[in-house]
Structure 1
Amino acid sequence: SALELHIRRNGSFRSFTASTQRETQARIRDILRMDYDTFINSALLLQGRADEFTMKPPAERKRILADILGLSIYDEYEERAKELIKEKEQAEREVQARIQEIERELQHRKEYRRELKAAKAELGQLSSRAKDAETELQGLRDTLKTLEAQKLQLADVEQRIQGAEVQLRDLDLQIQSHSQRLAAHESVLERREQIQAGHTRLLQARDEEAVYSAKLPQLLSLREDAMRLEKAITETRQGLELQAHILAERAAELQEEAAQRPQLQSEHAQVSQQLHRLAALQTKVQQARQTIAELSSERSKLDARNKDLIVEMKSLEEKLSLLRKPTATCPLCYQDLSEDDRQRLLVQFRQDGRKQGDEYRANRSRLKQLSSQTESLQSDVEAIEAELKKLPALQGREATLRKAIQEAEEAGTRLEEQQLLLTSLRYQIEHRDFAAEEQQQLTALQARISALEYDSAAHEQLRQTLKALEHFEADRAELERAQEMLTELRSNQQQLLKTRQQWAATLAADTERHAELAAALAGFEGLAHSLQAKQQEADEIRSREGHARQVLGAAQQKLDYCRFLARERRDRARQQKTLAEERGLYDELRVAFGKRGLQALIIETVIPELEEEANELLSRMTDGRMTVHFETQRDTKAGSTIETLDIKISDEHGARSYEMYSGGEAFRINFAIRIALSKLLARRAGAQLQTLIIDEGFGTQDTDGRQKLVEAINSIKEEFQRIIVITHIEELRDAFPVRIDVYKTAAGSQISLN
């Protein structure tokens, strides 16, 4: 099933269908401000349920009337008032709990005052002690500062002593180094003539080696080109050798294939012979199967004939049985027979019986022969078929052998070609008939290499000589440096000796000062321990003083918090009073918005109008005989009053229960009440529903009653935008100005507008 919602605006319909039927139904309820139950109790008179409103319990009738009047908003107000009452009650409980919590805290104020007084006294004592300890501590600190300054001087002196010692060691090393260098330079000067002669021989050897070195790059370039050409020639030869090797292997393979040809031809002849034999057997099988089919056809005919003969012989036996009786009648025409005719027929039928019996027995004998022949032929066919199963394999082998023979013949032809190519390649390799240009270039290069006259042994001998003489280069440089630096080194040596004497004097003075400072710092460790002990004592006093200040602050904070709580308690008491007053107001609103409040007053106001509308229609339809009366309250046995919506119906005989009226009268009562409810619905504020739908109901009325119902409907048409009447009664077809006829056809239901 489907549920869609469309609303007409500005001449066109716009879809307001939700994603689910439940949501769409909720939108319809929100727009119309009523549910389906209220709708079928007011604006819609369903077929067979015109008494929907009348037959409901009084409380339910009153709920539907409230829904029609749109009183559900007061239910929402009542629920909102209840929610606000709960909120105020919860707030009151929270405020009361806070007041009790504050009062419990305020009970500790005397205790907090005592704590404050004790903390002030202890803080005074500790502050005085801390001041005295700080004075003593400052004196120790001043003394310690003086000692620390002397300690720094001592460290400075020690550092200067260490520096002087380092400088003296460095100067000793430098003096020793200068002495060694002076000795070395003097030794070099003693070898002056030897060094100069060796250096001259070195220069001559370098000139000779330069000549060979100039030829070497040319030689290397020529040799590189020669190696490239030799490589190309070698690669060409290897390529030819590889081709020859491949051709030799291929020739061997082809020779092996060609050598298999006689064996393959012999085997092919044997296989062909077997295939010819199997082909003959295949023909024999086909002939045997054809013979079996012919024999089978003959057997079928004989079997059918024997079955007919059995029937004929049984019929003939029956006829003979009839003719053996003296009073027999003709078994064919059923006429009376004379004795001669009976005997003649007996003889004829016996002769016919013997002929049929002879034919039957002859057929039986022939059937046995046919069965024997069929079995023999079938056995031969099975044996031949077993032999013929080899045929596919033999055919495949014959094709394989035929192809192999063809390949062997082709291999013989290709073998001759391969052998010719192989002979040609071997001749080229043996006579070096390849890479002719590269070989010519290589010969020319080898001639140029010889023309260079490069002697690698002589070149290597010169290199060894240069290596042996190369130290004279360094010796000559050292000789020149020794001549230049000898005077400077002697001057530096004198300056280093003078500097060393000065550093030795400084070291002696610092050592004396170090002894003086060390004696002054003899009591430094004891003073440091005394200062540490006094510092710990002062720290402990300050710690206790700080704790006392914290206790004092905490006590003062607690008393300040108590004063804050006292102010908060007064504010909370005022807040509690305000919440109680607001809760009382909301409780009054809850009663006012409830069923016994404004809703009851509104219903009491509407009931006379509803009663008047219903009685006006009912009087018109019953010629003033019947009236209805609504009662909204009822007395209980306990003496109290309850809210209700009872319907009292009266006619010329007095008040009677609803069930005592006929179907036509009951419908007119229901119709009058429902029309009155629909008028209320059409006039209500907010969401008006100015549509009335009447589904059947006319069947309970006689002609006069139907006419009065039509008159009643026409009398209220000005109060509704649209009245829809659904009926199957033909005489009502022309009772209303606009009619939609629904009728059935072969293509389905059709409508027409009149």
Structure 2
Amino acid sequence: MKVEKILIKDFRSHKITKVTFTSGINLIVGQNGSGKSSLLDALLVGLYWPAKPKDLKKDDLLRIGGTGTEITVFFEKDGVRYQVHRNITRGIAFVKYHDGSSWKPLESGQKQVREWMEKAIPYDVFVNAIYIRQGEIDAILESDESRDKVVRQVLGLDKYENAYKNLLEVRKEIEGRIRSIEGYLKSTENIDELIRGMEKELAETLNAINELSPEIPKLNKELEKVEKKLKELDALAEEINSFRLEVRRKEGNVKALEAKLRELERRIKESEERVKELEEKVKELEGLKEKAEEYLRLVDFRRRYAEEKAKSEKLAESYKAQISGIDERLKELGALKEKLKELEEKRGNLEEKLKSLEKSAKAYEEVKSLTTNLERLRKRLKLKPEEIEKLAEEIERARARKEGIAKELEGISSRRGEIKSQVKERNNAILELKRARGKCPVCGRELTEEHRKELMEKYTLELREFSKELKALDEEERKLRRELVEIEGILKRERELFSQKELLEQIKELEERIKEYDLEKLEKGAEEYEKLKSELDRIEGELKGLREELAKARALEKKRGILEKKLEEVEDRLRNLEEELGTLGFSSLEKLDGRIKELEPAYRRYFELKSAASELTRERERLERSLRELEMTKKTLGEEAQALKDAKNKLEEKEKLYSAEEHTRLREDFTKLRERLAEKRAQLEALENKRNETMENLKKLKEEKKRREEKARELERLKKAKERVQNLREKVRHYKAMLKEDALSKVGELASEIFEELTEEKYSGVTVKAEENKVKLGVIYDGKEYGLGFLSGGERIALGLAFRLALSLYLAGEISLLILDEPTPYLDDERRRRLVDIMQRYLRKIPQVIVVSHDEELKDAADRVIRVSLENGVSVAREVELGV
């Protein structure tokens, strides 16, 4: 994998950041808090979201004031270029690949992208083998157990441990199946005995079926004979009942037809009387028709005349009033043209004055903006200039003192090692003196008791002095470390100092810029500009109103012409109404009303008789229908009477052929025979079911016997499989131990080379020993092996760094990318310089390395440098030319 580029929007302190990476060593450098480590966080989140650094919450991702967090990572793997894009805020994600000419979609959706990324570069590989995070060095130095955990994660040994545990689960599963099969075989031991009993029971059932089968056909034949005779009598009885029902139904029909005939004769008589009455009314209606039509015509004209005349007279008055109002308004608008010309001249003068004052107004606004920014910066400035200077001196002193303390601690550690070595020598000498006989092991002279005592007292006294000196060294180290804690507290304020210095510089710069302006003069000019601008706005509004009023004059003249035309039309309608009244033969409205009143009684009578004609037609049609229905009813009554007589004759003939006693006897015989047959059939069916069930059970037992034989063979296979799984498990354990031992041997060699350089060859090597769940680390000094307690604080950090780099270099053949986050936080100046040489010599074996550090000295080892700084609370990344 090779990272090509990362684009970041609104992530933590980054607003819009683009960083391009190349092959070789890429260094991201910047002060603490500038946002350089956030670039690595963004890389991890962009590739593996929702995975993220443990100390980072989702709510912390979005930059304060940002609209939405977006990250796009461009990388190359196996010769193919990819881009992974994530919009964290909106939950959008996709992957694209480059086909040589353009980007093509590959996956979309948070879950799908995470699954694809996991297949391409597993998360565990990235965070354990590729990414060396802050704190891993502490884990290496913390304990043998935590060191073993780091080794397992980086070298990928966990998968062998998991395989070892999984094979145990497989073995347990096989053992469970073995126990299950053994239980099954024990529970089916008597299966042959069960099969013999089942075969005997089947033979007895078949004999009983053979004895019962011949009886059923005989009973069946006898039952069919009785059933045939019974069906004949059933049919005859049913036919007789049917004829009886038919006779009763036809008797009811005859009675109903006779009643209907009487009702029809009554209705015909009433209809004939109604027709005569309606014929008289129709004759009277025809005489009144002419007067009724004249009445309706005059009433309609009277209504229309009144409505149209009132409406037209009202409209005429309205039109006249509107025309008068328009004439008055047109007269008023004539006086506005002079005022319009006067205002336009005034506006021109104001625009010239504003143009001359515009530059001063803009300058005043710029000064106001600078003053606002100055006040905002002063509020953020928490320290006075002299306090900033004092804090800077205090931090410089603290930094110098920190270096002094480190050297003192190194000296104490060195002296402690020398004393411990001398103590060991004195103890060995005392032990040898106690054992020695004849010759002194120290000087070679004859060993007398007095000489032995003298030497032992001397060595004992020296040991006491060494013990006192060690206690004094311990006390001195405690004091120095307490002082170091206080100094670290002061150094933590370095970021605050940087921020306050930057604010102070910005304040001074703004104050200098503000001094360049004549505030009093600019303020007067701005006030004058605002007054003239307000006056111009007022005149513009007044001009706009005048133009709108003058534009109305043309509309009013057009409207007046329309109103005059409408008035003429209304007056024409009024004249037409009067002419129409005269055409009808009336000189006035009163004479028209008199004629309407005269015709009203005739119209009322005509209205009452108007429905008589249609009623007469309907009544005549009703009479004709009743007469036709009367003829049909008489005919149907004759036919029903003859059918009733025929049905009674047929009923008498059928009753002579039927005997109820014989019918009852046959029904009883049929029931008895059917019950006997059903009983025999039930017995046979039970025996057949038993036969079938026995055969099925026998078949299952034989199948179970085969399955039992198969299970016995499976048991043998499982026992062999259990043995193979156990052997494989031992092989995995042995291979994991061998792999770990081989890897740690090579890692130890690499770590020795790096550690020797970091300590100026003070130590001749590093020892790495693997035990169960432990990795022990030591150093070779003066030909002897020592534990980590022998090292000073700085040497311990150097050893941890050397060991972790060695792990990654061991994997250099498998990985093409290494990421280091702050590798030098506790290294002194000399070891930092030596780390540059180590990076150039060893890390170049890896195709691409990304290092994040606040240490400027690492630039000497880098092929590309990106500097990250905090500007107005926003992180900015810029490429730095090498050598600058």
TM value normalised by structure 1: 0.47
Larger Cα Rg: Structure 1 or Structure 2? 1
